[in-house]
Structure 1
């Protein structure tokens, strides 16, 4: 797990100077080492790498890494969890390895398998390969985009980097804001749902694709993975879930440094913690226990789940391997300021303060690898009320009033939630007026941006009119999960911590996407298949408890009490092109703020951190 940059198009010493600026900007991603390498052919290309040593702690795993047989060079951020199996296959073809990590496997795999390499990989990655024979750059991300990779094209070349700040450092400034991204975020809290970022002319490399970029900038792309449609793969049963989750977790425990789990006391983290304890002591596995986040202030005690986590660790016979970190829910101004700076783009909930604090505590305790439950809620239907409301809307659309009433009575979904879903079926002019009047974040969009964004509102309406099955798929592949992954990456890498997510194993995800909704959730429980699969491994109170609040539940309700006044006063007035800053400052002075108000606050704080 590391950070990377690549620069093409500058000449001689200039390219190295530019690359050094970018590499220094992401030093936090790899505190264990660094490297720069100039790949000299018709177009000068410089690769840079910051190393977080996880697999093969020796100098043999340092990057940029060069293939002794081809002269190809790679910089790589992530982990290939099945690298041992791939290594055996390559050794059978005659390849000799010098080290014991996964980066060298990628170089050898590209030489042997070429474009077929990435379909063989099970992991998370963002990488760039300089191909000596052609002079081309190969860029690739994992299937779900767990690891970030951004591209910025210049007049004479391009820049690639793990974080936007590295591109900004290389070009000596951030580009102008992207109004389309701001509009989508303030309307629905969406980001990472397309290749665009919040900055003009900086895009994300598409997950699940390989990009071949020639020396003249011509780019050819192809998918190495396609998410299957209906009937293309087997759906999931409980026994399949159990087998796949256990295997995915075992793969993600491969490490040459100790690993800990993030334990909230809820279902997902309990499954991973119990599985981690069962795998401890296996080849290249050292599971050190669990970390739990809680609250030090009495006011937030009702959101604290540490007692449940403590009970579970005791029942699992691992009480001595449990770390509990408690913090005051309300952040100080400097902590909130750093969180905004770390995220670098707006984020849709202040609850991520909890993960920011937890990763800091994990690193201070001497650990730098965690397994976490990201993706379980999206993949296995962990938000039953959200999806039941959509099912009720579908029944009403079809004229099945008795079915809709039965669902409404059994699911416990409130009429207001159903009404919110039905509102997206209104004619666009009526919907626009309703959003402008009733959703504070939309009301705070500047008149100019609102007038210019009617086509984008129509596209967002199409997305929100999705049925249950399509909504589940989009939440995983384009909307909810990509945003969560970005927030997790920035918070964890701020402190040099690697996060591994077994529930995002592509073998699980592609089959869950095909599994009927009624097998994923019932009237009261989401993640039914997970509960059934691990019922005998966990106490009943954990396996069948309602959804827990999870990390950061207290923080998301404290927006009105956060130290925002002075921070908002420092937002440049130029933000007026996108947001009504005067009204935002007035509204922030009042308590009991609507939940979407944070979206406008987040945009303002982001703008202040970048353009002030």
Structure 2
């Protein structure tokens, strides 16, 4: 992951030192490099975790050919290499191998419609100096974060709330109206956060911030929504299985796009085991796997993960988490997440990520598979209730 931050001002040049403090507050997101761009209306900051094109050509914020547009980007566009030839044929000139540059040229070529071309996870901001307009976008599922604040004259954005709080105009204030929702769901469902005035750019949305006169014009639009169920195609069970495997293989292969070592989080379940098995046949080196478990055997999945690792022949690493360390880590995790810790898995995920960071920079995980393959018990309950009603 990388970290992005920035300011657009309609009332004078933004303070570059403030943007440096904002990006400095999230230096843990990008320890490899940092950068700053600023002019009379905008300032962009970036913290880089180098994954593709490790050279200085990947430095951000990054400019287009004539430096009329600048981008700060967090995420990965997995199909960027396949988009590049068409953009080069249209006259765009590259100076790096990065996916960042593909976003910038695609936006120049297609405007907001470029988002329909991208397969990946992303949050980015592009400053158009000539139009005095900032374009911001977030990926379809909101994998990458994007927070913002505005008083109508100044607009500030960042990958984490703590970075916004470095701006002198932003005072942390608890949004009491959202407490009941957070306690009931474990999150805020809309654009609001637990901080009054600080909002999220919602998944599948883009926004523009235009510096017009002494006021900012802010517009937000949705570019993607989960497709509605259609007519189910008639296929045999074997055909459905083959299609599912093809899609899973394609998805794993795309996410192996990296110039740095990769690994996989292994829980011992079907989801992460399937990903590790597919990786084994796609990478030249032995797959590095990482697992976390609890010292209380009844709550630990380490034995299952160990058996899967042995069966696949991975270079396996594991760590155990005890009750004392679990609770000692809560203040640090609250600082990282900028909100109360609702899910205990946040702690174990942090511990296994810390372990993996000693060996690799990128990991694949089985996150999201329970939603796709009905892994939660509530799906079975719903199905039984639906059959009873029908």
TM-score, normalised on structure 2?
Answer: 0.92
Decide which moves more: 220-229 or 16-25: 220-229
Matched ranges for 1:154-173 at <5 A: 154-171=151-168
**2:344 alignment partner, one of 350, 364, 369:** 350
With over 3 angstroms needed to count, the CA separation of the structure-2 counterparts of 1:381 and 1:332, relative to structure 1, is: closer
Contact residue 266 and residue 305 of structure 2 kept, 8 A: yes
Alignment pair present for 1:325 and 2:293: no
* Deviation (angstroms), 1:194: 1.0
Alignment pair present for 1:370 and 2:363: yes
Contact residue 262 and residue 362 of structure 2 kept, 8 A: yes
* Deviation (angstroms), 1:394: 4.5
Contact residue 294 and residue 305 of structure 1 kept, 8 A: yes
Match for residue 69 of structure 2? 72
With over 3 angstroms needed to count, the CA separation of the structure-2 counterparts of 1:287 and 1:19, relative to structure 1, is: farther
Alignment pair present for 1:361 and 2:355: yes
Match for residue 338 of structure 1? 332
Contact residue 63 and residue 75 of structure 1 kept, 8 A: yes
Alignment pair present for 1:116 and 2:113: yes
What is the Cα-based RMSD across aligned positions, in Å? 2.2
* Deviation (angstroms), 1:142: 0.2
**1:204 alignment partner, one of 200, 206, 210:** 200
Q: Distance in 2 between matches of 1:232 and 1:140?
A: 31
Match for residue 195 of structure 1? 191
Match for residue 97 of structure 2? 100
* Deviation (angstroms), 1:287: 6.6
Q: Distance in 1 between matches of 2:131 and 2:342?
A: 43
Match for residue 56 of structure 2? 59
Q: Distance in 2 between matches of 1:331 and 1:310?
A: 23
Partner deviation per Cα, 1:108-128 (whole Å, 9 max, x = no partner): 111112122110000000000
Contact residue 70 and residue 111 of structure 1 kept, 8 A: no
Contact residue 78 and residue 254 of structure 2 kept, 8 A: yes
Match for residue 520 of structure 1? none
Q: Distance in 2 between matches of 1:173 and 1:157?
A: 10
Unaligned runs of 5+ in 1: 401-612
Match for residue 9 of structure 2? 9
Contact residue 2 and residue 30 of structure 2 kept, 8 A: yes
* Deviation (angstroms), 1:80: 0.4
Q: Tell me, what secondary structure is at the counterpart of 1:373? A: coil
Match for residue 269 of structure 2? 266
Contact residue 253 and residue 287 of structure 1 kept, 8 A: no
Decide which moves more: 337-346 or 166-175: 166-175
Match for residue 91 of structure 1? 88
Q: Tell me, what secondary structure is at the counterpart of 1:145? A: coil
Q: Distance in 1 between matches of 2:231 and 2:216?
A: 36
* Deviation (angstroms), 1:232: 7.4
Q: Distance in 2 between matches of 1:324 and 1:21?
A: 36
Query: Higher helix fraction: Structure 1 or Structure 2?
Result: 1
Q: Tell me, what secondary structure is at the counterpart of 1:214? A: strand
Q: Tell me, what secondary structure is at the counterpart of 1:130? A: strand
Contact residue 9 and residue 153 of structure 2 kept, 8 A: yes
Contact residue 124 and residue 136 of structure 2 kept, 8 A: yes
* Deviation (angstroms), 1:333: 4.9
* Deviation (angstroms), 1:337: 1.6
Contact residue 11 and residue 154 of structure 2 kept, 8 A: no
Q: Distance in 2 between matches of 1:377 and 1:22?
A: 36
* Deviation (angstroms), 1:23: 1.2
Contact residue 47 and residue 75 of structure 1 kept, 8 A: yes
* Deviation (angstroms), 1:243: 0.7
Q: Distance in 1 between matches of 2:368 and 2:115?
A: 21
Q: Tell me, what secondary structure is at the counterpart of 2:15? A: helix
Partner deviation per Cα, 1:82-130 (whole Å, 9 max, x = no partner): 1111112212323221111110111111111212211000000000000
TM-score, normalised on structure 1?
Answer: 0.59
Number of aligned pairs?
A: 383
Q: Tell me, what secondary structure is at the counterpart of 2:156? A: strand
With over 3 angstroms needed to count, the CA separation of the structure-2 counterparts of 1:151 and 1:36, relative to structure 1, is: same
Match for residue 420 of structure 1? none
With over 3 angstroms needed to count, the CA separation of the structure-2 counterparts of 1:135 and 1:10, relative to structure 1, is: closer
Q: Distance in 2 between matches of 1:62 and 1:287?
A: 31
Q: Distance in 2 between matches of 1:332 and 1:82?
A: 39
Query: Higher strand fraction: Structure 1 or Structure 2?
Result: 2
Q: Distance in 2 between matches of 1:172 and 1:142?
A: 28
Matched ranges for 1:575-586 at <5 A: none
Q: Tell me, what secondary structure is at the counterpart of 1:260? A: strand
Q: Distance in 2 between matches of 1:14 and 1:209?
A: 26
Partner deviation per Cα, 1:143-184 (whole Å, 9 max, x = no partner): 000000011002421101000001111137643211232111
Alignment pair present for 1:220 and 2:219: yes
* Deviation (angstroms), 1:360: 1.0
Q: Provide runs of 4+ in structure 1 moved above 4 Å.
A: 10-14, 232-236, 392-396
Q: Distance in 2 between matches of 1:35 and 1:97?
A: 20
Q: Tell me, what secondary structure is at the counterpart of 1:35? A: strand
Q: Larger relative contact order (C-alpha < 8 A, sep ≥ 6)?
A: 1
Decide which moves more: 1-10 or 326-335: 326-335
With over 3 angstroms needed to count, the CA separation of the structure-2 counterparts of 1:344 and 1:81, relative to structure 1, is: same
Contact residue 259 and residue 287 of structure 1 kept, 8 A: no
Contact residue 26 and residue 163 of structure 1 kept, 8 A: yes
* Deviation (angstroms), 1:66: 0.8
Unaligned runs of 5+ in 2: none
Greater C-alpha radius of gyration: 1
Partner deviation per Cα, 1:404-429 (whole Å, 9 max, x = no partner): xxxxxxxxxxxxxxxxxxxxxxxxxx
